[in-house]
Amino acid sequence: AQSVSQHNHHVILSEAASLELGCNYSYGGTVNLFWYVQYPGQHLQLLLKYFSGDPLVKGIKGFEAEFIKSKFSFNLRKPSVQWSDTAEYFCAVLDFSGNTGKLIFGQGTTLQVKP
Amino acid sequence: EAGVAQSPRYKIIEKRQSVAFWCNPISGHATLYWYQQILGQGPKLLIQFQNNGVVDDSQLPKDRFSAERLKGVDSTLKIQPAKLEDSAVYLCASSIQGNQPQHFGDGTRLSIL
């Protein structure tokens, strides 16, 4: 079965610093990839998704992610973080190994941005 | 568009008691999911419905957990009896269909004493 690994559990950055959060999934084939964000006290929200096409995907709030098939990776990036980006970030892959697609989440990365 | 509605937001019970959670998905969303999110981990799928039928319940502890979506709209998840390790946030999500992005509710935070 598919699995997702997020390399960083807790990241602390100052405002205006650049961000890159790592995400790897376990095996290839057709993959649908997602990044979700959970701001404090709020529900999980979709940040961006990759289904096919251009491997560089742009999402909301200036975030982007790059799908690199050869590395089984889907890293999240933002050139300049803001205090309001403080949140928990989850990478997820849609696993088609069963009869239906199942969303498999990584363990999450907590991002703390210092003003 | 109204989001996914869940209730209650918080629940505290003692072990061996029963508890039920309710979810109303986004209107028109055929697929409904229940996830368990233990502190420090990502959400783990418990059960997936397509309309009122179960399509995946492979990770649902069926000796104590049950879920239904009788009319293909709202759903309930029940735990009976609860164990200490069931302390978690229970998330409901819905999507237009199974391979589309999922929309999540606020979750129910369950604490077992």
The CATH number of residue B82's host domain is: 2.60.40.10
Q: What number is the average pLDDT over the span A45-68?
A: 95
Q: Are B42 and A49 within 8 A, CB to CB?
A: no
Tell me which residue in B42, B45, B105 faces A102 most closely, judged by beta carbons: B45
**pLDDT category of residue A2 using cuts at 50, 70 and 90:** confident
Question: How far apart (Å, rounded) are the C-alpha atoms in residues B39 and A4?
Answer: 17
Distance from CA of B17 to the nearest CA of A (A): 27
- Encode chain A in three state secondary structure: CCCEEECCCEEEEECCCCEEECEEECCCCCCEEEEEEECCCCCCEEEEEECCCCCEEECHHHCEEEEEHHHCEEEEEECCCCHHHCEEEEEEEEECCCCCCEEEECCCEEEEEEC
Does B43 map to a domain?
Answer: yes
Interacting residues of A93 by C-beta distance below 8 A, sequence separation 6+: A2, A4, A25, A31, A32, A33, A34, A74, A103, A104
Higher-confidence residue: B70 or A89?
A89
Q: Of chain B residues 46-105, which have a CB less than 8 A from chain A?
A: 48, 50, 55-56, 58, 91, 93, 98-99, 101-105
Residue of chain A nearest B98, judged by CA positions: A101
Report domain extents, chain A.
4-114
Is the confidence at residue A98, as pLDDT, over 70?
no
Q: CA-to-CA distance for A11 and A32, rounded, in angstroms?
A: 25
Interface of chain A toward chain B, CB-CB under 8 angstroms: 4, 32, 34, 36, 42-46, 49, 90, 92, 94, 96, 98-108
Domain of residue B61: give its range: 5-96
Q: Does domain A4-114 have CATH number 1.20.1300.10?
A: no
pLDDT at A88: 96
Q: Which two tokens stand for residue A112?
A: 């703390």
- More confident site: B33 or B2: B33
CB atoms within 10 A of CB A91: 30
Residue type, A52: S
Judged against a pLDDT cut of 70, whether residue A97 lies above it is answered with no
Residue B65: strand pairing partners? B79
Looking at residues A102-110, what average pLDDT do you find? 93
Residue A24 near residue A2 (C-beta atoms within 8 A): no
Alpha carbon of A87 to those of A7, A14, A45: distances in Å? 16, 14, 11
CA pair distance A91, A108, nearest whole angstrom: 7
The half-sphere exposure of B8 on its side-chain side, counting CA atoms within 13 A, is 9
- Position B102 in a domain: no
**Do A18 and A79 meet the contact criterion of CB atoms below 8 Å apart?**
yes
Contacts of B42 in chain A (CB under 8 A): 4, 90, 92, 105-108
Cβ neighbours of A92 in B, within 8 Å: 42
Residue A79 to chain B, least CA–CA distance (Å): 25
Domain count, chain B: 1
Contact A99 B99 (CB under 8 A): no
